[in-house]
Amino acid sequence: MCLDRVSYRYRRGSSWILRDLVLDLAPGEIVEITGRNGTGKSTLLRLAAGLHRPRSGTITGRPPRVGYAPERFPTHQPFTVRAYLHHMAAMTRPLTGTAAPAPGNLTPTDTSFTTPTASASGATAPTAAASDAMAFRAPASRATESSSTASSSTASRAISATAAIEHWASQLRFEHLLDTRLSELSKGSAQKVGLAQALLPSPDLLVLDEPFAGLDAETRDALPELLESWAADGTTILVSDHQGALSQTSARRLQLQEGALHPLDGPTWTTLHVRVRTDEADALTSRLREEGHRVTRS
Ligand SMILES: Nc1ncnc2c1ncn2[C@@H]1O[C@H](COP(=O)(O)OP(=O)(O)OP(=O)(O)O)[C@@H](O)[C@H]1O
C-alpha cells in the first residue's frame, strides 16, 4: 500500500495537518508512527484505514480487509462485550455472502472462521469451509495454541465466531469481561475490546491508534510480540505509539513532524525474496525467526 504525496486538512482554510506525505507499507511490515501531541498521527491512521480521503495525493493498494482500532473505543453502546463482538463478527459476514443482523438481534452466531494451522498461511490449501469463510482466517499460530496441530500442520480449519471471540479474549486477557456491559469497562479493558474487534475480520491491514494506552503491564509487555506474530502471518500493521513500546521489535519507526514522516534511528531493513526447498522451509523459517528476521511466506 502506498500513500503518495498525501495532504490533508479538516476544513478549507484551516491549517494543513499532513503535507505531501509519502509512506510505503509492505505486506507483513510493522510501521510505528511517533510524534508530539496534535501532530496528526490519528489523522494519518484514519486516512490509511480509509476513514478520511486525502485532499490531494493518492492512496493505492489498500487491502480489502482493514481492521481499525481507534484511540478511544466508544463504550457508550448498549451491549455486553460478547454481544458487541458477535455483532462485529456478523458485520464481516457480507464477505461470505450473509447480511449482518440488526443490532437489536444479537443472538450468538456460529459463523465459520478459517484458521490456517501454521504460520505458513500462503502454503495452505483452503478447505471448503475455508473458502466459504475466508474473512475469518484467524492466524493459527495465535488462534489455536491449544490445538496439537497448531505448529505442525499447514491445513486450514474452521472455527466458529464464538471460538474466535473467545480466542481473542484469551489472547488479550479479557475473557472474564465477556458478559460485562461496554459502558462498565475500564479504559484499558475497552482498549482490548477495541483491539479484538479490529482483529476479528482477520485484516490484511491492521491500523492501531495508541493501542498501548491504558493497558495493564502484562498485556502491554505481551503486545509487541503479538504484533510481530500477526505481521509474520502477513498482516501489515500501522500503529501510532507515544511510548516507544515497539523500539525492541523489527517495526520501522517513523516520526511525524510538520506534516511529513521522518525515519527514527534504528536498524534499517532490507527485503530479500528467497526460494527455498519445500522440505526445508519450516525449519528455515523457524531458524530465521529465532535470529530476529521477519519471514513471510507466499
Ligand atoms: N475532526 C477534527 N476536526 C478538526 N480538527 C481536527 C479533528 N481531528 C483532529 N483535528 C486537529 O488535527 C490536528 C491533528 O490531530 P490528531 O488527533 O491527528 O493528532 P495526534 O498526533 O494523533 O494527537 P495525539 O497525540 O494528541 O493523539 C490537531 O490540531 C487536531 O486539533
pLDDT reported for residue 279: 95
Cα–Cα distance measured from residue 281 to residue 258, given in angstroms and rounded to the nearest whole number: 44
Q: What average pLDDT does the segment 111-120 reach? A: 33
Using CA positions, which residue lies closest to atom 17 of ligand 1?
Answer: 42
Whether ligand 1 lies within 6 angstroms of the CB of 268 is answered as no
Tell me: the pLDDT tens digits for 58-95? 999 999 899 999 998 888 888 999 999 999 888 764 34
pLDDT reported for residue 247: 76
Q: Which grid coordinates belong to 193? A: 475490546
- Ligand 1 centroid vs 9 CA: distance in angstroms? 10
Q: Among residues 170, 137, 141, which one has the least CA distance to residue 289? A: 141
- Ligand 1 centroid vs 199 CA: distance in angstroms? 25
Main-chain phi, psi angles of 176, to 5 degrees: -70, -10
Half-sphere exposure of 80 (CA within 13 A, CB side): 15
Tell me: the pLDDT tens digits for 236-261? 999 999 777 887 788 999 999 989 99
Main-chain phi, psi angles of 16, to 5 degrees: -70, 135
146 versus 267: the higher-pLDDT residue is: 267
Ligand 1 closest atom vs CA 240? 22
Cα–Cα distance measured from residue 158 to residue 63, given in angstroms and rounded to the nearest whole number: 22
Which residue has cell 482554510? Answer: 13
Whether ligand 1 lies within 6 angstroms of the CB of 40 is answered as yes
Cα–Cα distance measured from residue 121 to residue 32, given in angstroms and rounded to the nearest whole number: 24
The preferred substitution site among 12, 39, 51, 254 for testing ligand 1, maximizing ligand atoms within 8 Å of CB, is: 39
pLDDT tops 70 at residue 213: yes
Instruction: Tell me, rounded to whole angstroms, the distance of Cα 158 from its chain centroid.
Output: 20
- Provide the percentage of residues in the chain whose pLDDT is more than 90: 50
Q: Which grid coordinates belong to 84? A: 458487541
Cα–Cα distance measured from residue 295 to residue 280, given in angstroms and rounded to the nearest whole number: 14
Q: What is the DSSP string of 270-298?
A: --------HHHHHHHHHHHHHTT------
- Provide the percentage of residues in the chain whose pLDDT is more than 70: 74
Confidence band for 139, pLDDT divided at 50, 70 and 90: very low
pLDDT tops 80 at residue 154: no
pLDDT reported for residue 51: 95
Using CA positions, which residue lies closest to atom 8 of ligand 1?
Answer: 43
Cα–Cα distance measured from residue 147 to residue 144, given in angstroms and rounded to the nearest whole number: 5
Q: Among residues 48, 96, 94, 43, which one has the least CA distance to residue 71? A: 43
Query: Mean pLDDT over all residues of the chain?
Result: 78
- Ligand 1 centroid vs 81 CA: distance in angstroms? 28
pLDDT reported for residue 74: 87
Cβ atoms 237, 26 nearer than 8 A = no
pLDDT reported for residue 244: 77
The preferred substitution site among 43, 45, 72, 208 for testing ligand 1, maximizing ligand atoms within 8 Å of CB, is: 43
Confidence band for 155, pLDDT divided at 50, 70 and 90: very low
pLDDT reported for residue 145: 38
pLDDT reported for residue 291: 82
pLDDT tops 70 at residue 267: no
